[in-house]
Amino acid sequence: MVMLMAWLIPVVLGVVVLAAVLGWFRPRHSRETRSVRWVANTAYLRRLPTYRRRMRLYQVALGGVGVFALVAALGSSLLLARPAERDVRAEVLATRDIVLCLDVSGSMIEFDTEIVQTFSEMVEGFDGERIALSVWNSTSRTVFPLTDDYALVTDELDAAATALDFDLDALVHAPEALDRLEEFVAGTMSLDPNSSSLVGDGLATCAYAFDETDTERSRSIIIATDNQVLGEPIYGLQEAADLAAERDIRLYGLFAASDEAYSPENEEAYRQAITGHGGLVYNADDPGAVDAIIEDIASQQAVELEAEPEVVITDRPETVLWIAVAGVAGLVLAAWRLRS
């Protein structure tokens, strides 16, 4: 805690002490004779226990008035000095945008729940970043746009994990579970039944999800897919990766594939497209992927932004207010006792 106007403390206390000294040495005018009534033979009263007790109480109350007056003055001077907290905040955290880009084609459904949970773990490690979620198959759908409302992000990711927790190979499906899945993937299927998992189009859509293109912001895409493309996309994977690079978007890839859908060629093409522009690729089940991606976003992109730290000052009068309150309360109590 700092005092923004610390010089006021000695000034206020000096004024109070000066006023007390002047009051002490101020010439006292004698009362008029007619207002004084002298009583003879009263010297013995000073030896009475009751008188002595009263005098001790008077002296204590008088001393209390002085002490509490100083405490009240100290508390007032501290309040006038503006106690505050000085916090240095780096705007780097508030200028990062991250789009979570998820393949929800049939071959990825069995992995998507775990991938969404991985996304949730990443969100827990972020602080101030804006986050969006886009899902795609042969077309794309934005689940939620860029936002720093982490409560909304968490709720939407939880809902996504629940909806995608579905076994396509099961002979019998629960109607409620099927409804949740269909509602979640609605808008990701085109009219062409022969198109599926158009990775390039999905990545390109995520690249266009960033707003404020004329501002200096750090932009990242975390994409998860098996790169099993069926049909003719508008953008090839490499074209979409080039587009992201042109827009200064850093790519992070999570790769997942079943034994039936796995192809070394698909994985290699995916890795080359992501890493060709300095991106990083991890297997979706890699336990170190979350920490590695968060660390790279937090460190490397913070350097790229070179943002100036911002000093935020917050007044904290409550930290010293109790001193002034205690002083005034004690002063009132002592003055009341003195008069009584």
Q: How far is C-alpha 296 from the geometric centre of its chain's CA atoms?
A: 20
The chain-wide mean pLDDT, for the chain, equals 84
* Domains with residue ranges and CATH for the chain: 2-23+49-87+313-339 (no CATH), 93-307 (3.40.50.410)
CA distance 164 to 248: 31
- Residue pLDDT, tens place only, 35-88: 667 777 777 777 788 878 888 887 887 788 888 888 888 888 888 888 888 776
Statement: residue 186 has pLDDT above 60: yes
Q: What is the 3-state secondary structure (H, E, C) of 260-302?
A: CCCCHHHHHHHHHHHHCCCCEEEECCCCCHHHHHHHHHHHHHH
> What percent of the chain shows pLDDT beyond 70?
92
User: What is the reported pLDDT for 289?
Assistant: 86
Statement: residue 281 has pLDDT above 90: yes
User: What is the reported pLDDT for 156?
Assistant: 94
Confidence band (pLDDT; 50, 70, 90) for 269?
A: very high
